[in-house]
Copies of this chain bind each other. A is one copy, B any other.
């Protein structure tokens, strides 16, 4: 079988591998239908974070080819979302809805979804059943189903962690695929105003289509001033932090009103917190977030919303590629010519 291979920063190849097989009785072997490239893949593609050479990718949908002897919830032929999380589904942490932190998901989580065949661990707990077969869906529907492996539940996790509720004024930092999905999430949870921070026309247009009621191009100090001005000096009820940089996190800390919430899903990089965390105390601001509860959010809400057409997160895929075009798929995201690159792999 073929799979994408990370050679070194800036260089992806497609290589031939032996197909994975069942190793544990809780595994499932999946024929990948669609996969994609994640913004977080750019950290190592750009050489900013270290990663050894090897197979990569952590978002896909596919059809089960074989299941281990202990798998009860799935059978050969089932069409499934393959989340980047691998929760067992039975421990206290999974039952509390935080499968990204499952203590029983410690092996086999280093990617390989950007390929033809993938071995999923903890199948019963982690995978999410999609009704029917891939051929029952349009291309647009398959795109949206693919986002349920990561970006859509991650955007939702920001809104969930910040407890976005009916009538809230929400600002979203980050106009990449996750930030755009956070806009969908804020709207789903009833936010009355959603302010997107974006200076890229394509992203801003999609932000408005997804539910943003205003788009601001300002950054840093100017962004903070503008947001305070827009809220009569009080600040927003909620900030969704979908970037993870020092500037973005510090901005989020400064624009939320007393008693408001910050939900963060951007992996924090080089942030110095000391001067900010005490300010959260003095302003009664709640800081939540982390790695997304993909399976939980998909099952609770998001799969239904994609199936009934009320949300269309698949629009974040503005470019599509075959597996053989893997280098181009990464380059498109690296150079920002695509918001997110889709990989059409199997039928």
Contact = CB atoms under 8 A, between A and B. Distances in A.
Nearest to A281: B290
A282 B286 contact: no
Given A273-B274, A274-B272, A278-B268, A93 B259 contact: yes
B281 A268 contact: yes
A97 interface: yes
B284 A280 contact: no
Nearest to A290: B284
Contacts of A273: 273-274, 277
A86 B288 CA distance: 28
A161 B259 CA distance: 10
Nearest to A95: B259
A283 B98 CA distance: 9
B287 A257 contact: no
Contact of A258 (B101, B257, B274): B101
A81 B91 CA distance: 46
Nearest to A274: B273
A100 interface: yes
A48 interface: no
A113 to B, nearest CB: 22
A101 B280 contact: no
A332 interface: no
Interface residues of A, number: 39
Nearest to A296: B259
A96 interface: yes
A259 B289 contact: no
A289 B277 CA distance: 11
Contact of A98 (B91, B97, B259, B267): B259
Interface string A259-271: 1100010011001
Interface in A41-96: 91-93, 96
B291 A287 contact: no
Contact of A101 (B96, B100, B283, B286): B283
B291 A259 contact: no
A260 B97 CA distance: 10
A45 to B, nearest CB: 22
A230 interface: no
A285 interface: yes
Given A96-B257, A272-B274, A288 B286 contact: yes
A234 interface: yes
A242 to B, nearest CB: 13
Contacts of A92: 232, 234, 257
A190 B62 CA distance: 43
Among A161, A285, A286, A291, chain B packs the most CB atoms within 10 A around the CB of A286
A35 to B, nearest CB: 25
A289 B281 contact: yes
7 contacts: A92-B232, A96-B258, A97-B259, A98-B258, A98-B259, A274-B274, A282-B290
Interface of A: 91-93, 96-98, 100-101, 103, 161, 232, 234, 237, 257-260, 264, 267-268, 271-274, 277-278, 280-291, 293
